[in-house]
Structure 1
Amino acid sequence: MAAAAAPPQRSPTGLLALFAQVSDPRKRRGTRHRLPVLLTLATCAVLAGARSFTAVAEWAADAGQAVWSALGIVRVPDESTFRRVFALLDADALDTILGARAAAATTPAEGTRRRIAVDGKTLRGSRDGDTPGRHLLAAIDQHHAVVLAQRAVEAKTNEIPELKALLGTLDLAGTVVTADALHTQRDTASWLVDRGAHYLLVAKANQPGLSAQLAALPWTKVPTRARTCDRGHGRIETRIVKATEVRAGIDFPRALQAVQITRRRAVADRPAQTETVHAITSLPTHQASPTLLADLARGHWTIENRLHWVRDVAYDEDHHRARTGNTPQVMASLRNLAITSLRLTGTTNITQALRHHARRPERPLATIMNLNC
Structure 2
Amino acid sequence: MGGASSFAAITDWVHDLDEHGRSRLGFGDTVPVATTMWRLLTRLDPSLLTTVLAGWLHTRTRPPKPPRRYRRVIAVDGKTLRGARLDGGRQVHLLSALDTTTGIVIAQVTVDTKSNEITSFVPLLDAVEKVLGSLAGVLFVADALHTQTGHATEVTARRAHLLVQVKGNQPTLFKQLKRLPWAQIPVGDRTRDRGHGRRETRTLKAVTVATPGGIGFPHAQQAIRITRTRIVAGRTSRETAYLTVSLPAGQALPRDLQTWIRRHWHIENRLHHVRDVTFREDLHQARTGTGPAVIATLRNTAIGWHRATGATNIARATRQASHQSNTLITAVTSSYPTTQ
Do these two structures clear the TM 0.5 threshold for a shared fold by scoring above it? Answer: yes
Q: 2:24 aligns with which of 62, 70, 77?
A: 70
Aligned to 1:11: none
Q: What residue ranges of structure 1 are gaps of 5+ in the alignment?
A: 1-46
Cα-to-partner distance string for 1:28-64 (whole Å, 9 max, x where unaligned): xxxxxxxxxxxxxxxxxxx111111111111111011
1:148, distance to aligned residue in structure 2 (A) = 0.4
2: CA distance, partners of 1:367 / 1:307: 21
The amino acid of 2:221's aligned partner reads L
2: CA distance, partners of 1:332 / 1:93: 13
The amino acid of 1:316's aligned partner reads R
1:160 paired with 2:123, answer no
Cα-to-partner distance string for 1:201-245 (whole Å, 9 max, x where unaligned): 110011000011001001111111111111222222211111011
Q: 1:218 aligns with which of 181, 185, 202?
A: 181
2: CA distance, partners of 1:104 / 1:241: 36
2: CA distance, partners of 1:295 / 1:174: 17
Q: What residue ranges of structure 2 are gaps of 5+ in the alignment?
A: none
1:144, distance to aligned residue in structure 2 (A) = 1.3
1:326 paired with 2:281, answer no
Q: Which moved more, 1:50-59 or 1:311-320?
A: 50-59
1:120 paired with 2:84, answer no
1:251 paired with 2:216, answer yes
Q: Which moved more, 1:290-299 or 1:343-352?
A: 343-352
The amino acid of 2:13's aligned partner reads W
Q: Percent identity?
A: 45
2: CA distance, partners of 1:243 / 1:359: 51
Instruction: Normalising by structure 1, report the TM-score.
Output: 0.83
Instruction: Normalising by structure 2, report the TM-score.
Output: 0.91
1:135 paired with 2:135, answer no
The DSSP-based 3-state class of the residue aligned with 1:210 is helix
2: CA distance, partners of 1:184 / 1:371: 41
1:94 paired with 2:49, answer yes
1:371, distance to aligned residue in structure 2 (A) = 7.6
1:161, distance to aligned residue in structure 2 (A) = 1.6
Does the aligned pair in 1 maintain the 2:206–2:223 contact within 8 Å?
A: yes
Change (3 A) 1:354 1:275: same
The amino acid of 1:91's aligned partner reads P
Change (3 A) 1:152 1:367: same
Does the aligned pair in 2 maintain the 1:118–1:137 contact within 8 Å?
A: yes
The DSSP-based 3-state class of the residue aligned with 2:238 is strand
The DSSP-based 3-state class of the residue aligned with 1:130 is helix
1: CA distance, partners of 2:231 / 2:330: 45
1: CA distance, partners of 2:119 / 2:157: 16
2: CA distance, partners of 1:79 / 1:183: 40
> With CA pairs under 8 Å and 6+ residues apart, which has the higher RCO, 1 or 2?
2
Aligned to 2:103: 145
Cα-to-partner distance string for 1:159-188 (whole Å, 9 max, x where unaligned): 112111111131211111100000000111
Aligned to 1:365: 329
